[in-house]
Amino acid sequence: MKYYVVDVFTDEMFGGNPAGVCLLDDWLPDESLQNIATENNLSETAFLVKRSGYYDLRWFTPKIEVDLCGHATMGSAFVLFNFVETNAVTLEFHTLSGTLTVDRKDDMLWMDFPARPPVRVQQYESVGKAMGIDEYEMYKAPDLLVILGSEDEVLSVQPDFEMLKKVKEEAGLPDDNFGVMISAPGSDCDFVSRFFAPSSGVDEDPVTGRAHCVLIPYWSARLGKDKMTARQRSKRGGFIWCEYAGQRVKIGGKAVLYLSGEINGDTMLRTVASTESEG
């Protein structure tokens, strides 16, 4: 099985967010996909199967399958543009979040994702305690958004991740497929953010495409701008170009290849055979 690791939302190796990308001939059992993602131990591993005119795409954290992932979609598109669909300018993916596309424009990749505008809600006590903050605004979408007053506040937050897991019950979220992002105006960009998803096995995600499905509508309304720039202020960090397009958002970035290789196919076949015999 062809396997790649791509650093996404960066133009330098060891920056941005590393995404695992696996090219499959057909789907393996879910257990095998999860085992590979757990072994890779990246925030997400993407799995792709080529169809007629598009690719099926799924994403797994080390713990669960998720319904939307930005950086691993961009990483997948980078691999396909550079090693498989070298003449393509647009790629189409069918996913749990519907049809997603990625366009190649010079050295930039632009993802077309669903907008997820957040709604203002009351402060969740578990969020304030987990992050050690008192003054904040709380918003809810499929992920949760916490607005702070400054970039320095975003940088200073040191979450208690076990406590942050308790947000699920207080916010009435149905499963572990959610994250909590914090955001504020940026000093050298329009806004900054960080993203935490301990319930899905990712304490802090380095750079998060899906978060910007929520952040772009919020900051567009607040700033009165459709086109913006953003930084995710994790240790690795990343830069994101943003555009609000009504029901959709455009998320732009760069990517670099870190690794290409093979995952042992014999191991996969043994897993498949074992699963089929048990069935």
Catalogue the active-site residues: 44
Tell me the two tokens of residue 65. 């399958």
Non-local CB neighbours of 241 within 8 Å, separated by 6+ positions: 108, 110, 227, 229, 230, 250, 251, 252, 253
Instruction: Give the orientation angle of helix 30-40 with respect to helix 265-278, to 10 degrees.
Output: 140
Longest dimension (CA), the chain: 59
Phi-psi region of 98 (alpha: psi -120 to 50; beta: other; left: phi over 0): left
Whole-angstrom distance, CA of residue 17 vs CA of residue 8: 5
SS3 95: strand
Distance between terminal CA atoms of the chain? 24
* DSSP letter assigned to residue 45: E
Whole-angstrom distance, CA of residue 75 vs CA of residue 103: 12
Q: Where are the beta strands (DSSP E) in 35-155?
A: 45-50, 55-60, 65-66, 90-95, 98-105, 108-114, 119-121, 137-140, 144-147
